[in-house]
Structure 1
Amino acid sequence: MCGIVGVVSKSPVNQLIYDSLLLLQHRGQDAAGIATVDGRNFHMYKANGMVRDVFRTRNMRSLPGTTGIGQVRYPTAGSASSEEEAQPFYVNAPYGIILAHNGNVTNTAQLKDELYRIDRRHINTSSDTEVLLNVFAHELQSASPGYTLEPDALFSAVSGVHRRVKGSYAIVALVAGFGLLAFRDPFGIRPLCIGRNDGPNGTEWIMASESVAIEGIGFEFVRDVAPGEAVFIDLAGEFHSQQCALAPSLNPCIFEYVYLARPDSCLDGVPVYNARLKMGDYLASKIQREMSRGDIDVVMPIPDSSRPAAMQVANRLGVEYREGFFKNRYVGRTFIMPGQAVRKKSVRQKLNAMGIEFKGKNVLIVDDSIVRGTTSHEIVQMARDAGANKVIFASAAPPVKFPNVYGIDMPTRGELVAHGRTDEEVARLIGADGLVYQDVEDMKRAVRDINPALRGFDASCFDGCYITGDINSEYLDVLERARLAPNAQQDREAADGGNDFERVRSQLHLQLAGD
């Protein structure tokens, strides 16, 4: 999960991109980067840290130009400690390309091998974004052998990317002297939106991961990029688009609606806030079926993403809704903090329980999801320490039982508290008196109720169905060995395994190639 943005403006673009990245900060806190193009010259600055810490006045002044892209990074492949793997990435041929990426490529090892042996291209990091950039550059070089570059050549190159690359990817890229390109994988797993601003000097365009980054800078939301579609905006502001996949199928990541996206965003025709309200309705129905109304005195959310669901649960149950946990807004989102030790330590720094709301009460705590169980255990204990008589835990999402390979940091089964355990066993592990999970079909129905056109989803971490068709148990076994390898442990505390991760994935590619 990362946040990306690309802007074609009529005035200096650096501040617009900076402001958009601030609105996407929830999608990644590890690193941030901005690249602009001024004529045929690229300018780029990137570093580890949050947006407000990475960019100073001197950095912003070094980013001239009216077209640019930016990214906030949350690492799922590569090393979080290396600033070299912050995005965007650059390659000088053909033309000069700078690219940023949200998602996760699942056949990275195969592509690295092809790039070296066939395309004669060198990859210098363990980032899958660098792999994507070089695949696109090779395809563009093949599609446009001459000096000039037409939109058809760009779309042909994107088609080549779709044929070769597996996994999830939403991409923004600058091509020196030509304009901004954006495209989305054929399954539409990761989100990408289009916005515009019609000013006195002409039309300006923005591509962003979420609609909040479009509307928050004063642009008008136009639509989502379709799965498999590519959009190119030239430096004159002319808009070009084309479907570049043979069989596109919209299957957005349902975890975006559960947790990842901001509630004030709208993704693929679904306002995220409304989806979370609907999830609360379905969760309340299950709670009514499984326990007595008299067992609950008060409903409390874990701020902020579970508030809509908790409000609906309280309303449907006819129980008082109270805010008992208060959030320190200067601590990052614990789910995306690398390293279990850091994650565990940060929970009590992030949340504080107010005793007057808990003392002597049977409390139903509603959270958006339970992944590793570490945060949930700490929250239950905080409620007990604050004087709660009974603590019941409810999750607006189903049990997370399977690794996510499409860009969310939940890659091994052993780290998932619900994998191989019953609800009762999970309740005991997190210390709760009771536990209620959302049903998988109810979660999907909550989103589909709002946009019936959404027939499929990537819900792989809940149902184990990997829609790209290239993930099997052997692949997951190799991911686990890479994550748990002693030589990879230090890197894993910061990210997802670095070179050892790639080494084991290379072994997997060779194994599958021989099948």
Structure 2
Amino acid sequence: MSDALKHECGIALLKLKKPLQFYYEKYGTSFYGLNKMYLLMEKQHNRGQDGAGLANIKFDIKPGHRYISRKRSNLAQPIKDIFSSIQEEFAELERTDPDKLKNPNWLKEHLPFTGELFLGHLRYGTFGRNSIESCHPFLRQNNWMTRNLVLAGNFNLTNVDELFGKLLELGQHPKEYADTVTVLEKIGHFLDTENDKLFAQFKEKGHSNQEISRLIANELDVKRILHKASEDFDGGYVMAGLLGHGDAFVLRDPNGIRPCHYYEDDEIAVVTSERPVIQTAFNVKYEDIKELEPGCAIILKKKGDLQVERINPAGEKKSCSFERIYFSRGSDKEIYGERKKLGELLADRILKSVDFDVDHSVFSFIPNTAEIAFYGMIKGLENKVVANNIERLLKSGSDLNKDLLLKELAPKVRIEKVAIKDAKLRTFISSDEGRKDLVSHVYDITYNSIQPGKDNLVVIDDSIVRGTTLKESILRILDRLEPKKIVVVSSAPMICYPDCYGIDMARLGDFVAFQAAVELLKDKGQHHILEETYKQCLEEVQLPKEKVVNRVKQIYAPHTQAEMEAKISEILKPIGQKSEVEIIFQSVEKLHEACPNSKGDWYFTGDYPTPGGNKVVNRAFINYFEGNNQRAY
């Protein structure tokens, strides 16, 4: 994605199911759990670079000893900072008494992060301060082990105002108006309620307080707590939690918007946002890793195996397609194939754009995240070229021989690396003009890679959101090669609507597709649609979210995809650009053909999977119309 876009978050939960001595004897290290957590987090660092956090719980610790450890960082390299800080304590021991490093039970009793249960988080902030207080995991503390809650997640809720109000009705006084705090307190409230209920039951049976503590730890109904806490959540989420006595859970939203995968054997249970990290960290097969079903929760009792429980009724599965296009690492078997297919399905559009003149067209990709789609695009082009050559030869009536077939059927698709991003270049100048000049040099070009004035230049991008980098940098740089025509191909459809489930796409006016739709309304004399939409959105502000309709759809309705692409090409073409510019987008239909199991497409279609989405998009339009730059959620 050539536009910078913050997105998603990553989680990693690990439970060691054997005594710590087992891992030392089998793997030769007292830090098996820590080492695996480092791998699980580092292999997901693409999911969050604003901050990170790690928490650990020790089982069966004597009173008076610390059993919960937590460390968070918002430094430039947060994962490195966290694990380096933890390592310092072990390094000191290595200097003074190295034999103790070989004793996992001693380490568990005396040093932090040596317990059996881990929870890690990678943060990309969609809004708010990038302070240490914004980093997960969050901690709700209590002197009762079973009332302690550690929470981290990959989520955005659309109805924070509604949930906040319910907390007030319960008599709480939340310290912050944010979905993370709201979720923590909501789950915490029902955790307290469950504790109170069990305490009363066991007290009535004559058990002592100390006995009751142990009984509550065994009998705590995590499924009931999660159901009561989450039944009115509206949004996309995977929430992971640890309880102080050793239970753990991971809860997924009913539409399966955010990703979640898990694996279990007789030694460990592990849950992550992405599948390949489990394969890498534990060297297990693809087919042994499972996806958590929408509306379900993984529940890990301290003593027991992993259980999957239905918490909320499943809705229509709308897994985020942006995971497949861009966010998740392409090392996943399915995602790799889907990204190639996204590129392949664009071949017909591309050939038409260059008038089928493959001999005078050069193909490349920008940025590196589009590389897999590029391979698919080349495959699709080669297949089309061969098919066209066969058809032409059959029609010509020519004598077919081996040499002629080799000559005519061999694909002639030309591939070049025409642009390379200079990761070290920083735009430190504050003035707009000075900044734009530096931005225009973020990419280096490969000179003499095309024939000036003769060759078309086709570059594929995985998605185009704002188009700022294209206009201010990429197109200007590519124009220096003097191609006859520049074709920029997006493997994703046009982004027309804000996301409200975890991706940093909140303002309608930022989207180049929305800008194009508004310009087209003006061109067609239909500017009144904007005012009508604004009035309709205002009328629905006070309605319950379940009765709100996405009114912004009517702004796009009068336009065809071809009209939108032409207007976007016009908007993004820099002043003074000599080469012709054409922008091509994937269609929604082709997207679903390439990614059949990830139907979440609300940012392309406006079909939000939860009622809160419609409320957010209408609020986003009100903000745009009123010139308000605030976020819609």
Q: Indicate yes or no: 2:617 matched with 1:476.
A: yes
> Does the Cα contact within 8 Å between 2:365 and 2:460 map onto a contact in 1?
yes
Counterpart of 2:233 in structure 1 is: 165
CA distance 1:309–1:57, shift in 2 (3 Å) = closer
> Does the Cα contact within 8 Å between 2:275 and 2:289 map onto a contact in 1?
no
CA distance 1:99–1:348, shift in 2 (3 Å) = farther
Counterpart of 1:493 in structure 2 is: none
Counterpart of 1:204 in structure 2 is: 268
Letter in 1 for 2:465: V
The structure 1 residue matched to 2:343, chosen from 272, 280, 287, is: 280
Task: Using the TM superposition, give the Cα deviation of residue 347 of structure 1 relative to its aligned residue in structure 2, in angstroms.
Answer: 6.0
Matched residues in 1 for 2:601 and 2:283: separation? Answer: 31
Per-residue CA deviations over 1:369-418 (Å, capped at 9, x if unaligned) read 10010122221212113444421111001110111111111111100001
Letter in 1 for 2:68: F
User: Which 5+ residue runs of structure 1 have no aligned equivalent?
Assistant: 335-339, 449-453, 490-496, 506-515
Q: Which stretch shows the higher mean deviation, 311-320 or 169-178?
A: 311-320
Matched residues in 1 for 2:296 and 2:433: separation? Answer: 41
Q: Which stretch shows the higher mean deviation, 221-230 or 255-264?
A: 221-230
Percent of aligned positions with the same letter in both sequences?
24
Matched residues in 1 for 2:81 and 2:593: separation? Answer: 41
Letter in 1 for 2:586: Q
* Residue correspondences, number: 469
CA distance 1:120–1:418, shift in 2 (3 Å) = same
Counterpart of 2:184 in structure 1 is: 133
Matched residues in 1 for 2:191 and 2:567: separation? Answer: 53
The structure 1 residue matched to 2:606, chosen from 447, 464, 485, is: 464
Task: Using the TM superposition, give the Cα deviation of residue 151 of structure 1 relative to its aligned residue in structure 2, in angstroms.
Answer: 7.3
CA distance 1:342–1:157, shift in 2 (3 Å) = farther
Task: Using the TM superposition, give the Cα deviation of residue 108 of structure 1 relative to its aligned residue in structure 2, in angstroms.
Answer: 0.9
SS at match of 1:470: helix
Per-residue CA deviations over 1:396-446 (Å, capped at 9, x if unaligned) read 011101111111111111000011512112112222611111001110111
Higher helix residue share = 2
User: Which 5+ residue runs of structure 2 have no aligned equivalent?
Assistant: 1-7, 21-30, 62-66, 90-111, 199-212, 383-412, 517-563, 574-579
Matched residues in 2 for 1:323 and 1:343: separation? Answer: 26
Q: Indicate yes or no: 2:162 matched with 1:110.
A: yes
CA distance 1:470–1:161, shift in 2 (3 Å) = same
Task: Using the TM superposition, give the Cα deviation of residue 53 of structure 1 relative to its aligned residue in structure 2, in angstroms.
Answer: 4.4
Matches within 5 A, 1:15-414: 15-39=35-59, 41-49=67-75, 50-60=77-87, 61=89, 62-80=112-130, 82-92=131-141, 95-115=147-167, 117-144=168-195, 145-146=197-198, 147=213, 148-149=216-217, 153-196=221-264, 198=265, 202-220=266-284, 221-236=288-303, 238-265=305-332, 271-294=334-357, 297-318=361-382, 319-328=413-422, 351-358=443-450, 360=452, 361-377=455-471, 378-414=473-509
CA distance 1:465–1:17, shift in 2 (3 Å) = same
Task: Using the TM superposition, give the Cα deviation of residue 480 of structure 1 relative to its aligned residue in structure 2, in angstroms.
Answer: 6.1
Matched residues in 2 for 1:216 and 1:345: separation? Answer: 42
> Does the Cα contact within 8 Å between 1:78 and 1:126 map onto a contact in 2?
no
TM-score, with length taken from structure 2: 0.68
Matched residues in 1 for 2:435 and 2:296: separation? Answer: 37
Task: Using the TM superposition, give the Cα deviation of residue 349 of structure 1 relative to its aligned residue in structure 2, in angstroms.
Answer: 7.0
SS at match of 2:267: strand
Give the greater-gyration-radius structure (CA).
Answer: 2
SS at match of 2:170: coil
SS at match of 1:419: helix
Per-residue CA deviations over 1:23-81 (Å, capped at 9, x if unaligned) read 1111111111111112362111112133344325333444332211111111124322x
The structure 1 residue matched to 2:514, chosen from 410, 419, 437, is: 419
CA distance 1:189–1:345, shift in 2 (3 Å) = farther
Task: Using the TM superposition, give the Cα deviation of residue 485 of structure 1 relative to its aligned residue in structure 2, in angstroms.
Answer: 9.8
Task: Using the TM superposition, give the Cα deviation of residue 365 of structure 1 relative to its aligned residue in structure 2, in angstroms.
Answer: 0.6
CA distance 1:105–1:280, shift in 2 (3 Å) = same
Matched residues in 2 for 1:124 and 1:83: separation? Answer: 16
Q: Which stretch shows the higher mean deviation, 357-366 or 117-126?
A: 117-126
Matched residues in 1 for 2:235 and 2:328: separation? Answer: 20
TM-score, with length taken from structure 1: 0.83
Per-residue CA deviations over 1:231-267 (Å, capped at 9, x if unaligned) read 122334521221111234321001111111100125x
Letter in 2 for 1:156: R
Matched residues in 1 for 2:372 and 2:233: separation? Answer: 37
Q: Indicate yes or no: 2:581 matched with 1:436.
A: no
Q: Indicate yes or no: 2:15 matched with 1:8.
A: yes
CA RMSD of aligned residues (A): 3.0
Higher strand residue share = 1
Matched residues in 2 for 1:342 and 1:483: separation? Answer: 28
> Does the Cα contact within 8 Å between 1:20 and 1:217 map onto a contact in 2?
yes
> Does the Cα contact within 8 Å between 1:402 and 1:460 map onto a contact in 2?
yes
Letter in 2 for 1:292: D
Task: Using the TM superposition, give the Cα deviation of residue 135 of structure 1 relative to its aligned residue in structure 2, in angstroms.
Answer: 1.4
CA distance 1:214–1:114, shift in 2 (3 Å) = same
Q: Which stretch shows the higher mean deviation, 301-310 or 135-144?
A: 135-144
Task: Using the TM superposition, give the Cα deviation of residue 140 of structure 1 relative to its aligned residue in structure 2, in angstroms.
Answer: 2.7
CA distance 1:312–1:241, shift in 2 (3 Å) = closer
